[in-house]
Amino acid sequence: MGQKITINPLTRISGFLEIQVEVEKNQIIDAKSSGMLFRGFEKMLKGRPPMDAIYFTQRICGICSTAHSMASTLALEDILNITPHGNDKMIRDFMHGCEFIQNHLRHFYLYTLPDYVRGPEIQPLYSTTHSDYRLSLNLNNELSKHYIESIEYSRSAHQMLAVLGGKAPHNHGIFVGGVSVNIDSSKLIKMKSILNSIKEFVINRMIPDVFIISEHYQDYFGNGEGYRDLMSYGVFDAYSDQSLFYIAPQVLINGQKQELNPDKITENIYRAWYEANKVEQRPIDPTIDENVYKEEAYSWIKAPRYEGYPMEVGPLARMYLSGEYTRGFSTMDRTIARVLEVKKIIEIMESLLERVSLQPTPQGRFEFPQKAYGKGLIDTSRGSLGHWVAIENQGIQNYGIITPSTWNLSPGDSRGLKGVVEKALIGTRIEDIKNPVEIGRIVRSFDPCVSCATHVFGDGYSPFEIRIV
Amino acid sequence: MNKRSTNCPVLASKDMTAKKMIDITIKEVKNSPHNKTNLIWLEATGCSGNILSLLNAENPDVIYLLKEIVTLKYNNSLMAAEGEAAFQQFLDTLETDFILVVEGAIATKNNGLYNIIANYNGKRITAMEAVQMAGERAKYIVAVGTCASYGGISAAKPNPSGSVSVGQFLGKEVIRVPGCPSHPDWALGTIASIVAFGKPILDAKNRPIIFYGITIHDRCPRRSFFDKGIFSTKLGDRECMFKLGCRGPVTSTDCPIRQWNGYVNWPIGDNTPCIGCAQERFPDGMEPFVRY
Q: Domain residue spans in chain B?
A: 9-211, 217-286
- Note the pLDDT tens digit of each residue in A116-155: 999 999 999 888 888 899 999 999 999 999 999 999 999 9
Sheet strands (E) in A190-315: 230-232, 250-253, 256-259, 265-268, 274-275, 280-281, 289-290, 303-306
Measured CA to CA, the distance from residue A348 to residue A368 in angstroms comes to: 34
Res. B4: pLDDT tops 50: no
DSSP state of B250: G
Sheet containing A3-7: order of strands: A3-7, A17-24, A27-35
Q: How many CB pairs below 8 A link A and B?
A: 267
Average pLDDT over residues A348-368: 96
- State in Å, rounded, how far the first CA of chain B is from the last one: 44
What pLDDT was estimated at residue A457? Answer: 41
Q: Residue A56: its chain B contacts at CB < 8 A?
A: 153, 156, 283, 289
What pLDDT was estimated at residue A469? Answer: 34
Q: Which of A56, A152, A363 sits opposite B235 (nearest CB)?
A: A363
Q: Per CATH, which fold does B9-211 belong to?
A: Rossmann fold (3.40.50)
- Note the pLDDT tens digit of each residue in A13-51: 999 999 999 999 999 999 999 999 999 999 999 999 999
Beta bridge partners of A23: A3, A28
What pLDDT was estimated at residue B3? Answer: 44
B163 touching A (Cβ < 8 Å): yes
What pLDDT was estimated at residue A296? Answer: 96
What pLDDT was estimated at residue B8? Answer: 63
What pLDDT was estimated at residue A452? Answer: 83
Average pLDDT over residues B128-132: 98
Q: Residue A169: its chain B contacts at CB < 8 A?
A: 47, 49, 52-53, 181
Q: Which of B52, B79, B260 sits opposite A167 (nearest CB)?
A: B260
How far away is chain A from the Cα of B37, in angstroms, using its nearest Cα?
Answer: 12
- Note the pLDDT tens digit of each residue in B28-85: 666 654 578 999 999 999 999 999 999 999 999 999 999 999 999 999 999 999 999 9
- Note the pLDDT tens digit of each residue in A232-291: 999 999 998 999 999 999 999 999 999 999 999 999 999 999 999 899 987 666 678 999
Q: Which of residues 227-256 of B touch A (CB under 8 A)?
A: 233-238
Res. B6: pLDDT tops 60: no
Secondary structure of residue A247 in the 3-state scheme: strand
B75 touching A (Cβ < 8 Å): yes
Contact B83 A7 (CB under 8 A): yes
Res. B18: pLDDT tops 80: no
pLDDT, greater one: A451 or B181: B181
Secondary structure of residue A33 in the 3-state scheme: strand
Contact B283 A364 (CB under 8 A): no
- Among the listed ranges A326-330, A356-360, A459-463, which one has the minimum average pLDDT value? A459-463
Mapped to the 3 state alphabet, what secondary structure does B165-203 carry?
A: CHHHHHCCCCEEECCCCCCHHHHHHHHHHHHHHCCCCEC
Res. A451: pLDDT tops 90: no
Please state which CATH class domain B217-286 belongs to: few secondary structures
Q: Which of A7, A15, A56 sits opposite B48 (nearest CB)?
A: A15
The percentage of chain A sitting over the pLDDT mark of 70, rounded to a whole number, equals 96
- The domains located in chain A, with CATH, are 3-453 (1.10.645.10)
pLDDT, greater one: B185 or B26: B185
Measured CA to CA, the distance from residue A211 to residue A102 in angstroms comes to: 20
The nearest alpha carbon in chain A to B264 belongs to A163
The nearest alpha carbon in chain A to B154 belongs to A39
pLDDT band at B2 (very low <50, low <70, confident <90, very high): very low
Average predicted confidence (pLDDT) for chain A = 94
Res. A464: pLDDT tops 90: no
